Amino acid sequence: MDTKKALDFETVELDDRNDALVIIDQTLLPNEFTYLHLKTREEIWEAISELRVRGAPAIGIAAAYGMYLGLKSSAACDFNSFYKELKKIKEYLASSRPTAVNLFWALDRMEACARNNRSRSISEIKELLLKEAEEIKAEDIRVSKSIGEYGLSLLRPNDGLLTHCNAGQLATAKYGTATAPIYLGTERGYNFKVFADETRPLLQGARLTAFELNRAGVDVTLICDNMAATVMANGWVQAVLVGCDRVAANGDTANKIGTLGVAILAKNYGIPFYVCAPTSTIDMDCPTGKDIHIELRKPEEVTDKWYARPMAPKDVNVFNPAFDVTENKFITAIITEYGIARPPFQPSLVEIFSKKATGRMQFSNI
């Protein structure tokens, strides 16, 4: 099976010649595979906010390209006025979604790139911003591959795996985070059996994870969220792999709503619960999960979306948080591109960042 071929699509791409950010409109999947060419900052903001492009790493990459595109046409002649424009675009794009730290991390990186080169001409700074955005994307591919290697070292052939939401190729530049060990294992003949939670209310598991794993020839079985306990009780799951939107310094992890429930179930059945986390998703300035801002979304996503007619009484109260926080006590390990962090997570994550400071990933040949 050639997973590489099945993963040949680009989730986020720059068409520099036509001044456009090109994304797959993920709201239309799996029925339509449509590329959108986004030219204005408003279009990019809307695409992030409406989850046309989604998943923590992918929205970071989209925002970095968005900032570059927004500044490419800048007529500013001096650094101060250029920087003022940059700050305005940064603030605007940063307001598109609040939880995934990659969005802010990527925008901060772009800002630092401009600031560190303030003595250069504006056209040189624009070139450097383009390079920085391209590097953010290229780095994400290396990171996912490395997470794949570390993740695979924790799994055995024929394992049953459960994943929630979509932390796949569609959420990153390539390979995904939680799916990277799955794709790598598939290439190496591990013969995994994957259970994908459908992930109410926006169905990222059904529409996106089942779509991309199925396309890549992975043995994937779709289940409703409320079936996870049954497949675990049946002994069909040997490990849970999930992605994350923000990991706090103590290891508490925000991820798609429903992840906490899966983690509690995994603990009950003695199944290891692994969080796949690029260091760009780890926020050492955020002490605990209580400090993570959880996005609240529209009630219609619960009551109306996907149905021909509303499936709840008109005006019923709805609580629709996009994410929940899994306390560190439910997490077996956090798999990063620089190694595997284990409890107690605070010192273990500090060690991961000191490895990062040396600049070399162990799997640097990938």
> Annotated catalytic sites, by residue?
245
Nearer to ligand MRU, 130 or 185 (CB): 185
The encoded tokens of residue 257 equal 């709503």
Of positions 243, 251, 258, 339, contacts ligand MRU by CB under 6 A? 243
**Does 100 participate in binding ligand MRU (rule CB under 6 A)?**
yes
Count of beta carbons in the 10 Å neighbourhood of residue 331: 26
| Chain position carrying tokens 């799916």 | 179
| Chain position carrying tokens 């911003």 | 129
Tell which phi-psi region holds residue 207, choosing left (phi > 0), alpha (psi between -120 and 50) or beta. alpha
Question: 21: which strand partners?
Answer: 14, 38
Nearer to ligand MRU, 14 or 247 (CB): 247
Q: How far is the CB of 6 from ligand MRU (least distance, A)?
A: 18
**Does 11 participate in binding ligand MRU (rule CB under 6 A)?**
no
Of positions 96, 146, 209, 255, contacts ligand MRU by CB under 6 A? 255
**Does 328 participate in binding ligand MRU (rule CB under 6 A)?**
no
Question: 312: which strand partners?
Answer: none
Give the separation between CA 358 and CA 84, rounded to whole angstroms.
33
Of positions 11, 146, 169, 204, contacts ligand MRU by CB under 6 A? 204
**Does 106 participate in binding ligand MRU (rule CB under 6 A)?**
no
What is the number of residues in the chain? 366
The encoded tokens of residue 147 equal 């997470």
Nearer to ligand MRU, 3 or 177 (CB): 177
Stretch binding ligand MRU (CB under 6 A), from 80-88, 154-162, 240-248, 282-290 = 240-248
Q: How far is CA 235 from CA 189, 195, 238, in A?
A: 22, 12, 8
Query: 3-state DSSP call for residue 85?
Result: helix
Stretch binding ligand MRU (CB under 6 A), from 167-175, 264-272, 327-335, 343-351 = 167-175
Query: 3-state DSSP call for residue 120?
Result: coil
**Does 297 participate in binding ligand MRU (rule CB under 6 A)?**
no
Query: 3-state DSSP call for residue 40?
Result: coil
Of positions 41, 52, 54, 207, contacts ligand MRU by CB under 6 A? 54
**Contacts by 307-314 with C-beta closer than 8 Å and gap 24+?**
none
Of positions 167, 182, 228, 239, contacts ligand MRU by CB under 6 A? 167
300 Cβ contact partners less than 8 Å away, ≥ 6 residues apart: none
Give the separation between CA 174 and CA 166, rounded to whole angstroms.
13
Stretch binding ligand MRU (CB under 6 A), from 88-96, 165-173, 230-238, 339-347 = 165-173
Q: How far is the CB of 242 from ligand MRU (least distance, A)?
A: 6
Of positions 7, 21, 55, 197, contacts ligand MRU by CB under 6 A? 55
Of positions 20, 86, 101, 165, contacts ligand MRU by CB under 6 A? 165
212 Cβ contact partners less than 8 Å away, ≥ 6 residues apart: 6, 7, 166, 168, 169, 170, 176, 179
Give the separation between CA 164 and CA 268, rounded to whole angstroms.
17
The encoded tokens of residue 205 equal 């598991």
Size of the site for ligand MRU (CB under 6 A): 19
**Does 322 participate in binding ligand MRU (rule CB under 6 A)?**
yes
**Does 172 participate in binding ligand MRU (rule CB under 6 A)?**
yes
Count of beta carbons in the 10 Å neighbourhood of residue 25: 16
Stretch binding ligand MRU (CB under 6 A), from 133-141, 185-193, 221-229, 239-247 = 239-247
Query: By beta-carbon distance, which residue lies closest to ligand MRU?
Result: 243
**Which residues are at the interface with ligand MRU (CB under 6 A)?**
51, 54-57, 100, 165, 167, 171-172, 176-177, 204, 243-245, 255-256, 322
